[in-house]
Amino acid sequence: MSSAENQRLDARPLAGKTILVTRPEEGASRMGGMLTDLGACVRVAPMIRITEPENWAAADAAIRSLDAYRWVIFTSANGPKYLAKRFSNLSAAPEAIPAGTSILAVGPATADAVEKYLGRTPDKTAEKYMAEGVVDLLEEQNMAGQRVLLARAKEGRDAIPKALMKMGASVDDVSVYQTIPIGREALREVWGELEAGKIDMLTFTSSSALDGFMRAAGEETAKGWMQRARVASIGPATSATAREWGVAPDVEAAESTIPGVARAIVSYYGKPQRGEQAS
């Protein structure tokens, strides 16, 4: 093989691989474009859509008393995005979170969203993408009696609020957006390829997308597809959800971001695969 051919392969390390993206439509194009640039043939089947919560009452009450909170915590980029939208609807400035209220973001993408939508640099950014990451950052703080606003999805799991309450904090777990499963219709265009084993890797960038996939396909069918393909997870929380379904991800991103997932997939395919011998 010529050096020029080698260079092309290095630039497109996912050539010949078909990868399914299950992110919501608004994020699927970015991830799909990144994987396409790396040589993959991308299929898109958004398993969830993200919308405003059905009821803003709890969020509005929190917004009216922001100065009562010592901390505001965001666990995804959608948190600051949808909170900023609500600020606008209530004629509040994006910078409405008082200077005396500290902001904690889980992960760099969430931190970037806080800066973009709320005009603040987070006071702390958790590197671990589970409850332990929040605890690690706040364990040196005296959280006893401190009020914390956890602004996140309606479907958020209880690990973080439980950890904060164990530290003595008073937690208001408020929905500022919700994830809606799209269901079986989302898989219509890729069902045949999944059945035929023509998709090499299934990617999941949230627990809700993975849950949506399993329920839309049916657990038995989904697990059959996952045995024929590989499964990539954006991080520990999504991997934990996969294991709850009895699925062990083949790939877990070291950094829970879209570029992190892409890097992890490239790294995975650069190693000997199941059933192959290292040369």
What are the pLDDT digits (tens) for 61-96? 999 999 999 999 999 999 999 999 999 999 888 888
The predicted model scores a pTM of 0.84
More confident residue, 199 or 128: 199
Neighbours of 188 (CB within 10 A): 10
- For the segment 259-266, the average pLDDT, to the nearest whole number, is 96
139: helix, strand or coil: coil
Whether 3-47+182-269 and 51-178 share one fold: the answer is yes
CA distance 184 to 208: 15
The Cα-based distances of 140 to 135, 144, 166 in angstroms read 9, 12, 14
> What CATH number belongs to 51-178?
3.40.50.10090
- Indicate the residue type of 208: S
User: What does the pLDDT read at residue 47?
Assistant: 96
Contact assessment for residue 122 and residue 104, using Cβ atoms and an 8 Å cutoff: yes
Q: What is the pLDDT of residue 277?
A: 45
What is the residue-averaged pLDDT of the chain? 90
φ, ψ for residue 103, nearest 5 deg: -115, 130
- The arrangement of secondary structure in 3-47+182-269, i.e. its CATH architecture, is 3-Layer(aba) Sandwich (3.40)
Q: How confident is the model over 108-114, as a mean pLDDT?
A: 92
Average pLDDT for 254-273: 88
Beta strands in 206-275 (DSSP E): 230-233, 251-252
Q: Alpha-carbon dihedral of residues 65, 150, 31, 231, nearest 10 degrees? A: -170
More reliable by pLDDT, 182 or 93: 182
Which 8-state DSSP code applies to residue 100? Answer: T
**Which residue ranges make up each domain of the chain?**
3-47+182-269, 51-178
Q: What pLDDT score does 10 carry?
A: 59
